[in-house]
Amino acid sequence: MEEEFTRRDFLKATGAAGVALSGVRLAEAQDPVPPEQERSAAGLRVPPLEVVRVGFVGVGARGAGHVEQFLLLEGVEVKAICDTFEPAAKAAADRCERAGRPRPDLYTQGDYDYHRMLNRDDVDIVIISTPWDWHVQMSVDTMLSGKHAFVEVPAATTVEGCWELVETAEQTQRHCMMMENVCYGREELLVLNLCRRGVFGELLHGEAAYIHDLRSQMNDIGRGTGSWRTVQHTKRNGNLYPTHGLGPVCQYMNINRGDRMDYLVSMSSPALGRALYAKEHFPAGHIRNRERYVCGDINSSLVKTVGGRTILVQWDTTTPRPYTRLNLIQGTRGVWAGFPNRVVVEGISPNTHSWEQGEGLSRWFEEYEHPLWVRIGEEAKRVGGHGGMDFVMLWRLVYCLRNGLPLDQDVYDAASWSVIAPLSEWSVARRSQSVEVPDFTRGKWKTMEPLGIVS
């Protein structure tokens, strides 16, 4: 603990100063506090915002979609857009004008021009949709400037980065939400409702995954998601992208809110698929053939919780395999599994040896549809964005901000879901030794309220 406090003091003494020197004006009320006086970010409430004034950092493929959907929400103003690629920033600003909104100010003068945007007094929240390695620094800078950070997945790629997010959110009392959109999918919200209503009995085991053939992203050279994601495969070996499948399962199990992830073991398959794709699709001297891919094509990690439950987390963006997030939750009375959706519940299903699926699931949706989807599901499907989950997520976070409510995902979720990546790398490198998952809540998980079913 003494060593941990020393590091925490260092971050507060030098991290804030470093940001100030780089050009970000610190919010006056965000003075560092001694460790013994640290405030929690659990259940964080901030004063309601009558209008949510938004700045964007990164408006490429993902960020552009966020701009488009924010323009559909009541009580939102798009104030500023930052992107190092000026055509993307201008395209996002044009979209605002076409929607009948004022043209936002643009910040396109290099990697750190977002600092100028953070110095504005008319921005409340910042949406960060940039390459992974920028997520921690941009989120920390945002919170230290007095604004709330909403960052794409994963929130961090190192254990230290996860801690820095937690400590900055606690210090500043600003929201830091990782925008895990899958938690707002129709099926995931339905399953959350089923879990809360005890349909599956006591929960025992979950399975989460991100299985998605993304080899074509290797064709992005210089610009595009694949231009920087491909490089990750040359530097790291583990589960590099755990949160899409894991986030919903953690919410089902009340992770950080009654239980927490305790330790994990991880192993990776050989790294063959990326080199094979490069050989078959690029000339011999091409950069993709000169790179050495070290990340195993398939990673499997097994997590044990303090309460004794188990979670399988898999990742594979390299092999020719249909998309799946698994989304399985097993309890003492029944099970739900995704892709395709199917369910068995003892005493309700005809028997426990055959799945209810297809049209047979209609009665489950009729009785257990989540209230959020009942309220805005039709509009979400019309608007789109991964089947509507993007719109539901943004609608919900704006609703919480305008009503001064805690967010559905907090900084502890961002850290604990994201930290699976670097911990899996550690375990893989050490013949699958077990490694402890840090308790980012510092014991508060024992008293934090489970995520409710909003009405």
Q: Kindly report, residue by residue over 243-279, the tens digit of the pLDDT.
A: 999 999 999 999 999 999 999 999 999 999 999 999 9
Cβ atoms of 237 and 428 closer than 8 Å: yes
Residues 290 and 285: their CA atoms lie apart, in Å, by 7
Is 33 a residue whose pLDDT tops 50?
no
Residues 326 and 405 in one domain: yes
Q: List, in sequence order, the alpha helices (H) in 282-370.
A: 287-290, 362-368
Residues 251 and 367 in one domain: yes
Q: How confident is the model at residue 67 (pLDDT cuts 50, 70, 90)?
A: very high
Helix (H) or strand (E) holding 222: none
* Domain count along the chain: 2
- Does a structural domain hold residue 36? no
pLDDT of residue 135: 98
pLDDT of residue 39: 86
pLDDT of residue 7: 38
Cα distances from 14 to residues 107, 116, 157, 440, in angstroms, run 27, 21, 21, 21
Where a domain ends, among 158, 178, 198?
Answer: 178
Stretch 68-84: mean pLDDT: 97
Q: Which residues 6+ apart lie within 8 Å of 385 measured at CB?
A: 65, 69, 181, 391
Q: Which of 407, 424, 408, 418 is nearest to 440 (CA)?
A: 418
Strand pairing of 334-337 and 342-345? Answer: antiparallel
pLDDT of residue 24: 74
Q: How confident is the model at residue 61 (pLDDT cuts 50, 70, 90)?
A: confident
Is 3 a residue whose pLDDT tops 70?
no
pLDDT of residue 26: 65
Stretch 410-417: mean pLDDT: 98
Mean pLDDT of the residues in the chain: 93
**Over pLDDT 70: what percentage of the chain?**
92
CATH number for the domain including 104?
3.40.50.720
Residues 186 and 116 in one domain: no
- Does a structural domain hold residue 39? no
**Over pLDDT 90: what percentage of the chain?**
90
Residues 313 and 311: their CA atoms lie apart, in Å, by 6
pLDDT of residue 385: 83
Residues 133 and 204 in one domain: no
404: left (phi > 0), else alpha (psi -120 to 50), else beta?
A: left
- Does a structural domain hold residue 454? no
What pTM does this model have? 0.93
Is 307 a residue whose pLDDT tops 80?
yes
Stretch 6-35: mean pLDDT: 47
Cα distances from 26 to residues 120, 174, 412, in angstroms, run 11, 13, 23
- Written as one letter, the residue type at 59 is V
Stretch 295-300: mean pLDDT: 98
